[in-house]
Chain A
Amino acid sequence: DQQVKQNSPSLSVQEGRISILNCDYTNSMFDYFLWYKKYPAEGPTFLISISSIKDKNEDGRFTVFLNKSAKHLSLHIVPSQPGDSAVYFCAASELVKLTFGGGTRVLVKP
């Protein structure tokens, strides 16, 4: 029973274009949603988050949108850069625990 799902295992985008990553969840008790970025042989690093009471949060090239009624969130990266090539994990927080999705591998082509 996956509470957090990322249905696209991979995404390829041209440098300078927009990358859109999607995430769905089932648990209405999640209070924060986070995106993590992971390079090979490294631990995940925090990218951006959004509270369950908001619908948008922006940080530079990264914007996260939350649609609570649809239990859906997305991460927009604009413009995409080659250094953004990595695996992106969606995660959701309930009290002290963080539940992760399966990840989306993003490849930004120069």
Chain B
Amino acid sequence: NAGVTQTPKFRILKIGQSMTLQCTQDMNHNYMYWYRQDPGMGLKLIYYSVGAGITDKGEVPNGYNVSRSTTEDFPLRLELAAPSQTSVYFCASRSRGGRTGELFFGEGSRLTVL
């Protein structure tokens, strides 16, 4: 019963490096999301997708890219990492027919940029 799986759980990057945070869900959910949570703050939406091949920007998309080639996977790409991208990243999903908008979250990926 995996749900939403994120990898890696922890990563340290140097300024200017690039990396991809992986997210996969096994619930056949159409909608997928990437949020970031800075210390002591709430979650801010980076990108979201309503289905394979469709992505859209959230509140804080700058410095990130996403793709959605399959229903299951929604990777988040960081290009030219900056210290401001130090955060905990959460991937989430929900079904199109969900009655309340409830999102199911992964356990998070903690990224530090030095």
User: Chain A residues in contact with chain B, CB under 8 A?
Assistant: 4, 6, 9, 31-32, 34, 41-46, 49, 51, 89, 93, 96-103
Q: Is the CB of A49 within 8 A of B102?
A: yes
Q: Which residues of B approach A to under 8 Å, CB–CB?
A: 4, 31, 33, 35, 40-45, 48, 50, 58, 90, 92, 100-108
Chain A interface mostly: strand
Least CB distance, B2 to chain A, in whole angstroms: 13
Known: A41-B108, A102-B41. A49 touches B4 (CB 8 A): no
Q: CB-CB < 8 A to A9: which residues of B?
A: 40
Shortest beta-carbon distance, B92 to chain A, in Å? 8
Q: Which residue of A4, A6, A9, A49 has the most chain B CB atoms within 10 A of its CB atom?
A: A49
Check if B103 sits within 8 Å of A46, measured CB to CB. yes
CB distance from B10 to the nearest CB of A (A): 10
From residue B28, how far is it (CB to closest CB) to chain A in Å? Answer: 16
Q: Which of B31, B100, B104, B108 has the most CB of A within 10 A?
A: B100
Known: A44-B43, A49-B101. A98 touches B107 (CB 8 A): no
Kindly provide the distance from the CB of A5 to the nearest chain B CB, expressed in whole angstroms: 9
